Amino acid sequence: MIRVLHTESSMNLGGQELRVLLEMERMAGRGFGSILAARPGSRILDEARRRGLNAYAVEMRGSFDPLAVARLLHIILRERIDIVNAHGSKDGWSAGIAARLCGRKVIRSRHIANPIRSHFMGRLVYGALCDKIVTTSESIKTGMVEKGVLAEKIISVPTGIDIAAFDYRREKGKYRSEFGIPPGAFLVGMVSVLRGDKGPDVFIKAAGVLLEKSDDIFFTLVGDGWMSGRIKDMVSGLKDKDKIILPGYRRDIPNIMADLDVLSLPARAPEGVPQVILQAHAMMVPVIASDIGGINEVAIPGKTSLSINPGDHEELADAILELYKNRGKAGTLALEGHRLASENYTLEGMLDKMEALYRQALA
């Protein structure tokens, strides 16, 4: 059995963290044993333990933390780790150093599109402190190469979707029934961590525009995060605020997707390939998303998505209204999105690539 230590310094539980947990669970059937090291009190640590995964609490106080290095070195030796996969900024340094001290292979995963630092220390973490780099989109890979990282060292492995879990034939109506949303209403959704780069406030502003124009459009913003309070304040000041559902963090995303007429992601900044867009594609839900790197690899303008300028709530409102009026166009986008997800972005395809990468690293 190949044993992989995943390290993650994020305190959140979004797409990045859920991908780590999904890989840990699904690689077990392929002969891999997975262990997580995450910060005390982090949501990924709590969720890993809830799922029965092997997880350690490791305090990570900065990019280089000697105590974290010592703790991770202890875990590597105790768990007989073969490969370390570091996912976050703060853990990347400590995990890389700990792994190098005991001669283990290192994978550095890059989930975000923020430019990497081009100074010596920034290059080191993607140079000598890792053997391979995994990005979650081609646009992230391109950005890293532009900063001087060797292209041959990087492989793009977007997060795959479990097509069986996100089956477009799933029973509909459960989510609508829970919140009293009429069966015939047009339901627009956003599923995201509530933080500025994702644009949840853009979504609420667009909702405010459309609530003035139509009586049968409802909105739901699913997720939590540091902007939760601000979002609630925004909603409280809107007309027909009862038509905007804020359920917080949910685990039943397939049931929610089944009841949506449109899924939106009005992000302000580039990111990796968003899982939520692929989930919508799998369930044949038409998508409206920002035309920006990583996102537009799967929310392809005019083909699998209506596209808007990043963070533009007026454009978002116009796009929603367009699909509200033109259900045929919405259906065409949904069909093309489903074809893209089912042919190119499956969970099994992602796992195949990660298995090949790990085995190659040890060869």
Task: Name which CATH class applies to 174-344.
Answer: alpha beta
DSSP of 73-114:
HHHHHHTT-SEEEE-SHHHHHHHHHHHHHTT-EEEEEE-B-S
Cα–Cα dist 119/135, whole Å: 20
DSSP reduced 3-state for 8: strand
Q: What distance in Å separates the CA atoms of residue 78 and residue 179, rounded to the nearest whole number?
A: 49
2-160+346-362 and 174-344: identical CATH topology: yes
Buried b (16+ CB within 10 A) or exposed e, 16-47: bbebbbbbbebbeeeebbbbbbbbeebbbbeb
Quick check: 195 and 164 in contact, CB under 8 A? no
d(C-alpha 115, C-alpha 283), whole Å? 33
Mean pLDDT score, 32-61: 97
Residue 205 pLDDT > 90: yes
Residues 6+ apart with CB under 8 A from 119: none
Output helix, strand, coil percentages for the chain, rounded to the nearest 5: 45, 20, 35
User: Is the pTM value of this prediction over 0.85?
Assistant: yes
pLDDT at 124 over 90: no
Residue pair 83/106 in contact by the 8 Å Cβ criterion: yes
pLDDT band per the 50, 70, 90 thresholds, residue 125: confident
347 pLDDT more than 90:
yes
DSSP state of 299: S
The sign of the dihedral angle between the CA atoms of 345, 285, 325, 191 is negative
Given the candidates 3.40.50.2000, 3.40.50.720, 3.90.1640.10, 1.10.4030.10, the CATH classification of the domain at 2-160+346-362 is 3.40.50.2000
- Long-range interactions of 49-52: CB distance < 8 A, separation 24+: 51/21, 51/25
Confidence of residue 41 (pLDDT cuts 50, 70, 90): very high
Q: Where are the domains of the chain?
A: 2-160+346-362, 174-344
pLDDT tens per residue, range 268-320: 998 889 999 999 999 999 999 999 988 999 999 999 999 999 999 999 999 99
